[in-house]
Chain A
Amino acid sequence: MPSRLLAGSVLAVFVVFFVLPVLWLVLAATKTDQQLVHDHPLSFGSWHTLKANWDALTAFQDNAILLWLGNSALYAAISLVITLCVAVPAGYALAMTEFRGRRTLLVSTLVVMLMPNATLVVPLFLEINAVGLIGTMWSIILPYAFYPFGVYLTYIYFTTAVPKDLLAAARMDGCSEFGVFRLVALPLATPVIALVGFFSFVANWTNYFLPYVMLPESDQMPVQVGVGNLLSNVPSFNPTVGELAIERPQLALATLVAITPVLVVFLFAQRFLVSGMLAGATKE
């Protein structure tokens, strides 16, 4: 059938579009710059070259790439912990308890959630500058930790997936309010905790603008800003670079290294991504 053939080819073309660059990137890291230009684009170089590229990459500014990775991990991990400790109780309280100002808080969460955070980078800089935290890791960790989308996700989860009667029953049994949260609600919240954790981790790990502004020193950069920095040391992209240059395969390797943690977390979170937010995405 021609229409099915057409549909099939459209889907296949998009597979190539989405996957080819990733595949190329992985292979590029195993080649020399010469091979990158002259060999088949989808050929494998050698393990030896991969090792050599790694050595050249780590030699750049004396292990800068490892330092950047460490920075990213530190920033993402601390802000993740704060996000979870803040967002989950907040979402729970918005969904399951009544208190004054609840509606106002809910509405402002929605507004702030839809407010793109890049617009606030300059004002945030001014604010952080006013309290003298520019150049410290808190200048990005604290803004990262503020994650209204996580509160909203938790709120939705508790309103739809946990019956209020369950909490009422626990209260009848003499559970304190904190006990209800810790003993009843929290164990039920594992899927949404994983989901919020995943989204917040990826958002923080991939953020560029905020750390670019807040942490100008090279040894404080997270890996996203770091690879941007590497880019301006690649002669083929930036002919003004002098001796201490980075070659393209090493930049490709740096890019791969920068995304690996996200890929790992992504593979782990796959299950939750499908069963959690995208509950409808699998056919029953």
Chain B
Amino acid sequence: MAGSGRGRRRGASPQSRAGMAFVAAYVLLLIAFGILPTGYAVYFAFTDAGGTFTGFTNFITTAQDFRFVDAVGHVTLYLVFWLVSLVLFVVGLALLLHRLASRTAGQALRFLYYIPGALAGAASVLVWLFMLDPTVSPVSSLLGLLGFDTFGEVIAPGNLALLFTVIAFWTGAGGWIVVMYGALNNIPKDVMEAAHIDGASAWQTAWHIQIPMLRKWIVYMVILAFAGGAQLFVEPQLLSLASVGVAGRDYSLNQLTYDFAFQMNNINGAAAVSVELLVVSVSAAALFVARSGFFDAD
């Protein structure tokens, strides 16, 4: 027993057996709710209702659905708005907060920015339905200035990508600001001092030192926001409930999968769209993991 630390026999050591026992329950859940549904989705995407292999037929049929191209366009536009605003404002606000002389003020502001984070999900959408309804909104005069006098005008289809961006930013930005602020704090003090002594302006310091050092975190944020944003569902779904006729229930790709599966009884088509979303999101994540070395902890 004592000399068994070699090669394949290591699998029998008490530590190894304990390790396997500790992960067993997790492996079970991983298979049941990670691997199996993924396999299921792929299987359904490539077969028809009778279980016969159909190649890419489901992908082609769904892509030819009159709503598909529109939904792709909607989600793409939303992602552009959402990612650009996230990078611009989150980094900008974190830098501003970091320059703040008063520690207490910085802490208070970070907390205030973080509060809407508690209203994720349906709650944030409901809040914004009120904010965007000129009859009750506290900023109705602002909406009026922009030329919106009725709720229907505000939620016109052309505005939706921007509105969903505002909602997502309102709920999600605070957390990222805290993360970026933390990353800024981890930049060694002497680097910042050296820049200061060399006479670098705040702008130059931010551009040449701070932002490059935040790069990894910014990419991380963009990837997670991309994967999350591509899944857009609750916002357009609730909006469609609140505006019979104005906003359709086919705005986003995930709404389409829902419709295919539960309204049109086309499970295979729904699976095909799910697989597409999964492939796009996982490729983006894989690219990130491969390029950034973010998970080099191991």
- B135-178: CB near A (< 8 Å → 1, else 0) gives 11111100000000001000000000000000000100110001
Alpha-carbon distance between A211 and B137 when the two chains are bound, in angstroms: 30
User: Taking the complex as formed, is A30 at the interface, i.e. its CB lies under 8 A from any CB of chain B?
Assistant: no
A193 adjacent to chain B (CB < 8 Å): no
Q: Does A28 sit within 8 A of B, measured CB to CB?
A: yes
The answer to whether A114 and B227 touch across the interface, beta carbons within 8 angstroms, is yes
Partner of B295, one of A87, A110, A202: A110
Identity of the chain A residue whose Cβ is nearest the Cβ of B40 in the assembled complex: A123
Q: Which residues of B contact A59 (CB under 8 A)?
A: none
Q: How far is the CA of A173 from the CA of B89 in the complex (A)?
A: 54
Cβ-based interface call for B223 (8 A): yes
Give the interface segment out of B52-60, B61-69, B74-82, B114-122.
Answer: B114-122
Query: Which listed residue (B103, B128, B137, B281) contacts A119, Cβ 8 A?
Result: B281
- What residues on A are CB-neighbors of B233 within 8 Å? 118, 208-209
- Are A142 and B26 in touch, CB under 8 angstroms? no
Chain B residues 15 to 29 lying within 8 A of chain A, measured CB to CB, are: 15-20, 22-23, 25-27, 29
What distance in Å separates the Cβ of A218 from its nearest Cβ neighbour in chain B?
15
Q: B298 in the interface, Cβ–Cβ < 8 Å?
A: yes
Separation of A266 and B277 alpha carbons in the complex (Å) = 31
List residues of chain A with CB within 8 A of the CB of B19: 93, 97-99, 102
> What's the Cα separation between A251 and B123 when bound, in Å?
10
Return the CB mask of B266-298 against A: 1 if under 8 Å, else 0.
010011001001100110011011000001011
Cα distance, A118 to B181, chains bound together (Å): 29
In Å, the complex CA distance between A251 and B33 comes to 34
Most chain B CB inside 10 Å of its own CB: which residue of A18, A119, A213, A281: A119
Whether B130 lies near A24 (C-beta < 8 A) is yes
| A74: interface (CB < 8 Å) | no
Is residue B36 within 8 Å, beta carbon to beta carbon, of the partner chain? yes
Q: Which of B10, B123, B151, B262 contacts A98 (CB 8 A)?
A: B10
| Given A87-B26, A114-B285, A119-B254, A209-B182 contact (CB < 8 Å) | no
Q: A122-B270, A123-B44, A232-B242 are in contact. Are A213 and B18 (CB under 8 A)?
A: no
Q: Are the C-beta atoms of A115 and B281 separated by less than 8 Å?
A: yes
List the B side residues contacting A224 at CB < 8 Å: 121-123
Contact of B16 (CB < 8 Å), options: A11, A100, A159: A100
Which partner residue on chain B sits nearest A270 by CB separation?
B111
Majority secondary structure, A binding face: helix
Q: Is the CB of A123 within 8 A of B37?
A: yes
Given contacts A21-B131, A90-B23, A114-B227, contact A228 B122 (CB under 8 A): yes
- Judged by DSSP, the binding face of B is helix
- Name the contact of B41 in the complex, choosing from A123, A202, A206 (C-beta under 8 A): A123
B194 in contact (CB, < 8 A): no
B205 within 8 A of A: no
A238, B241: Cβ atoms under 8 Å? yes
CB of A93 within 8 A of CB of B136, answer no
Q: In the complex, which residues of chain A have a beta carbon less than 8 angstroms from the beta carbon of B135?
A: 37, 236
Whether A42 and B242, one on each chain, are in contact in the complex, defined by CB atoms closer than 8 angstroms, is no
Q: List 20 A-B contacts (CB under 8 A).
A: A18-B112, A18-B115, A20-B139, A22-B119, A114-B227, A114-B288, A119-B274, A119-B281, A121-B274, A124-B37, A126-B267, A142-B33, A151-B26, A206-B120, A209-B233, A224-B123, A228-B241, A237-B133, A238-B244, A283-B185
> 8 additional contacts, CB 8 Å, given A24-B130, A87-B26, A99-B17?
A105-B23, A110-B295, A115-B281, A151-B26, A258-B123, A262-B119, A278-B179, A280-B183
Name B's A-contacting residues (CB within 8 A).
10-11, 14-20, 22-23, 25-27, 29-30, 32-38, 40-41, 44, 89, 92-93, 96-97, 99-100, 103, 109-110, 112-113, 115-123, 126-131, 133, 135-140, 151, 170, 173-174, 178-179, 181-183, 185-186, 202, 223-224, 227-228, 230-231, 233-234, 237-238, 241-244, 254, 257-258, 261-262, 267, 270-271, 274, 277-278, 281-282, 285-286, 288-289, 295, 297-298
